[in-house]
Amino acid sequence: MYYQGVKKIIIPRPVPKKRANLGDMHPILERIFLARGIVSATELDRTLAKLPSPWLLSGMEDMVGHLITAINRQQRICIVADFDADGATSCAVAIKGLQLLGAGQVDFVVPNRFEYGYGLTPEIVELVKRQNPDVIVTVDNGISSIDGVRVAKELGIKVLITDHHLPGHQLPVADAIVNPNLVDDQFPSGALAGVGVMFYVLMALRSRLREQNWFAQNQVQEPNLAQLLDYVALGTVADVVALDPINRALVHQGLLRIRSGRSHPGINALIEVSGRKPEAIFATDLGFALGPRLNAAGRMDDMSLGIQCLLTDDPALAKTMALQLDELNNDRREIEGQMKNEAMALLGEMKKLDERHTPAGVCLFDANWHQGVIGILASRIKDQLHRPVIAFAPAGNNEIKGSARSIPGVHIRDVLSDIAAAHPKLLSKFGGHAMAAGMSLRMKDYPPFALAFDEMVRKRLLTVDLEQKVYSDGELTEQEMTLEFAELLQNAGTWGQEFPEPIFDGVFDVIQARIVGQRHLKLVLRKPFGELLIDAIAFYVDKPENWLGLRSIKAAYKLDINEFRGNRSVQFIVQYLEKII
C-alpha cells in the first residue's frame, strides 16, 4: 500500500565527493547543500549585490533607450500582461516601477483567456488601440507574437517585449526584445521568470537615468526598486522556475520584505485570506497558498482582478479583492476535483478498450471541461501516471485548447515542435517550456494529434528512467527532530524548484492515526525503540481509511513547525508513505 496509490522508491540523494568550503555549518546541512551542488559559502550569498549586471541581457540597450524616450516625452505606455501569477506580478512590477522612474501615463491590458487566448495577438492589439498608446510593453509574453507585433507596428505603436519563454524559429519584429533565452544571450541564467525579466529592465533603466543625472534634473527622488521584490518573489515561485542563485536571491529578498511588514497591501491581503502570517512566510507559502489564489482570477474569470489587487494602495480594498480571489480559488478546487474524477474514468475506459496498449503520452478531452483548469488537471494526472499528459477543453469555433505537463527527461515543447514538423497542419499554435506547454488545434484534428503525441513521447521514453523516486537527505535521529533544527533548515536556504527543500526518511511505529478534513491523514509516530512522539500529516490521501490500524510505516517527510494557539511544535509533512508488512 502506498501514499496516493503510487509506488515509489526512496533513495539517498547523491552527495558529490568534493571538498566543501562552507564554513562552520551543521554537518547535516553541509551534506544537504553538497547534494544540491553547493560547495562554497559564496554560492549561498542571497544579497542583491551578487546579482549579475542587467546589461548582460541582449536587447537591453534598445529597451532602455526606448523607455527613456517614452518617459522624457511622457508618452502613453500600455502593459500587455499574461493571465497567470507571473504575468500579474510582472504587470504590477512594470506599472509601479515605470511610475517610480518618471512615466506618467501607464495602463495595462490583460487578455481574457476565454475570449482572446494568450499573448499579444492581433485581437489584443485592437483592444489596446482603444487606449491610444504610443508604446506597448509586453510582460511574460510576446516572444511568439509575430502577427500581433506586426499589426501594432502597422498602427504606429512601438512594441517592447519582455519575456522568458523559449523563442521559436522566427522572432517578432519588435523595437526591442529582452529575454534571457534568446540565442547567444550572455546573461548567465535562462531561469528568470517574466517578473524577474521586468525587474531587470527597471534596474537597467534606473542605472541609465542615474548616469544621465535625470533624477536631479527633474527633481525626482531616485527610487529604491527593492520595494518591488515582494511581487518578484511571488511571481518567481508561482511560475515554478528553477531557483538558481539569481532567483534564490530575488525570492529571499522579497521574503525578507514581506516578513518585515514592508510588502504591498495586495500581498498582505493574500497572505491574510490564506491563513498565513507575514512574519512566518516562506517560499512554499508563495507557491501553494498565495500563487493559486492569484492564479484563480485568470483561470476562472479575468486576471484584471488579481492585478488590481496587487496594485491598490488601499488595504481595505485589497482585502475585499483578496476575498474575491479566495472564492474563485474555492470554485476552482471544486471544478478541478470533478474534472479529475472524470479524467480518471476516461483513463479507465481507455484501458478497457485496449489492455495491451498503455499510452506513453496521454491526451484527454471532455466537452464540458473548464478551459481555465485544464493545466492543473494535466498536472494532477501526470503525477498519477508519471507520463506526459495533455488535457483539452473546448475553445469555440470548432477549436480546442490543450495544456500539457511533462516529466523529467521529456521536453514537452520539443515534442510539440516535432509534431508540428511532421504534421504541419495539426497544430494551430503552441508554445511553452520543458515541463509545461499550451496549444490550440481543430476539434477534428484531435484524434490524429493524440496518436502523434503518443508516438513522439514513446520515442523519448526509450531513454527515460520511469521508476518514480523520492530523493532523501537521510535519516534523522531523535536529537535532530527539534524546533531548533527545523528552524535552521527553514532559514538556511530559499527552497524550491530545482533547489528542493530537504526530505528525510525512516521507519516509524504508528502510535495513532485518524482522518481529518475528509482526505488528510493525521499521525503520531515514533522511531522503533524510541521515546519521542512526533506529529505528522499527509495531505490529500487516496482512501485514507486504508491507513488506519497500521502498526508501522516507512515515510519520507519534510521537517516542519506547526503553530497552533501560540504553541510551536515539530511535525512531519509526509511526502510519501509505504506500508511495512
Q: What is the pLDDT of residue 505?
A: 97
Q: What is the pLDDT of residue 354?
A: 54
d(CA 296, CA 235) in angstroms, rounded, equals 14
Q: What is the pLDDT of residue 276?
A: 93
Residue 338 lies in a domain: no
**Domain termination residue (choose one: 426, 461, 496):** 461
Average pLDDT, the chain: 93
User: Do 548 and 510 reside in the same domain of the chain?
Assistant: yes
Q: What is the pLDDT of residue 166?
A: 86
Residue 287 lies in a domain: yes
Residue 413 lies in a domain: yes
Report the SS3 class of residue 132.
coil
**For residue range 458-473, what is the model confidence (pLDDT) as tens digits?**
999 999 988 889 999 9
Question: What CATH number should be reported for the domain holding residue 414?
Answer: 3.10.310.30
User: Do 127 and 186 reside in the same domain of the chain?
Assistant: yes
Q: Kindly write down the DSSP assignment for every residue of 403-451, as one continuous string.
A: EEE--TT--HHHHHHHHHHHSTTTEEEEEE-SSEEEEEEEGGGHHHHHH
Nearest Cα to Cα of residue 78 among 36, 124, 115, 33: 124
Per-residue CA distances from 50 to 134, 325, 406, 445 (Å): 36, 36, 33, 50
- In the chain the first and final C-alpha atoms are separated, in Å, by 10
User: Do 414 and 496 reside in the same domain of the chain?
Assistant: no
User: Do 200 and 118 reside in the same domain of the chain?
Assistant: yes
Residue 353 lies in a domain: no
User: Do 11 and 69 reside in the same domain of the chain?
Assistant: no
User: Do 115 and 181 reside in the same domain of the chain?
Assistant: yes
**Domain termination residue (choose one: 307, 327, 347):** 327
Residue 315 lies in a domain: yes
Q: What is the pLDDT of residue 455?
A: 94
Can you list the positions of beta strands (E) in 304-443?
362-365, 389-396, 399-405, 427-432, 436-442
Residue 558 lies in a domain: yes
User: Do 171 and 289 reside in the same domain of the chain?
Assistant: yes
Residue 349 lies in a domain: no
Q: What is the pLDDT of residue 2?
A: 61
User: Do 40 and 57 reside in the same domain of the chain?
Assistant: no
User: Do 397 and 514 reside in the same domain of the chain?
Assistant: no
Instruction: Please give the grid coordinates belonging to residue 332.
Output: 476552482
Residue 352 lies in a domain: no
User: Do 447 and 507 reside in the same domain of the chain?
Assistant: no
| Residue ranges in 155-289 assigned as alpha helix (H) | 194-211, 214-217, 229-238, 245-259, 265-273, 283-285
User: Do 171 and 99 reside in the same domain of the chain?
Assistant: yes
The tens-digit pLDDT sequence of the chain (581 residues) is 566 667 889 999 999 887 778 888 899 999 999 999 998 888 899 999 989 999 999 999 999 999 999 999 999 999 999 989 999 999 999 999 999 999 999 999 998 877 777 789 999 999 999 999 999 999 999 999 999 999 999 999 999 999 999 898 899 999 999 999 999 999 999 999 999 999 999 999 999 999 999 999 999 899 999 999 999 999 999 998 999 999 999 999 999 999 999 999 999 999 999 999 999 999 999 999 999 999 999 888 889 999 999 999 999 999 999 999 999 999 999 999 899 899 988 888 776 545 555 688 999 999 999 999 999 999 989 988 899 999 999 998 899 999 999 999 999 999 999 999 999 989 988 887 788 889 999 999 999 999 999 999 999 999 998 888 999 999 999 999 999 999 999 999 999 999 999 999 999 999 999 999 878 999 999 999 999 999 999 998 888 898 998 999 999 999 999 987 778 999 999 999 999 87
How many domains, in total, are found in the chain?
3
User: Do 405 and 545 reside in the same domain of the chain?
Assistant: no
Question: What CATH number should be reported for the domain holding residue 484?
Answer: 2.40.50.460
Residue type present at position 342? E
**Domain termination residue (choose one: 404, 429, 461):** 461
Task: Find the domain containing 396 and state its range.
Answer: 358-461
Only one residue has cell 471532455, namely 366
Question: What CATH number should be reported for the domain holding residue 311?
Answer: 3.90.1640.30
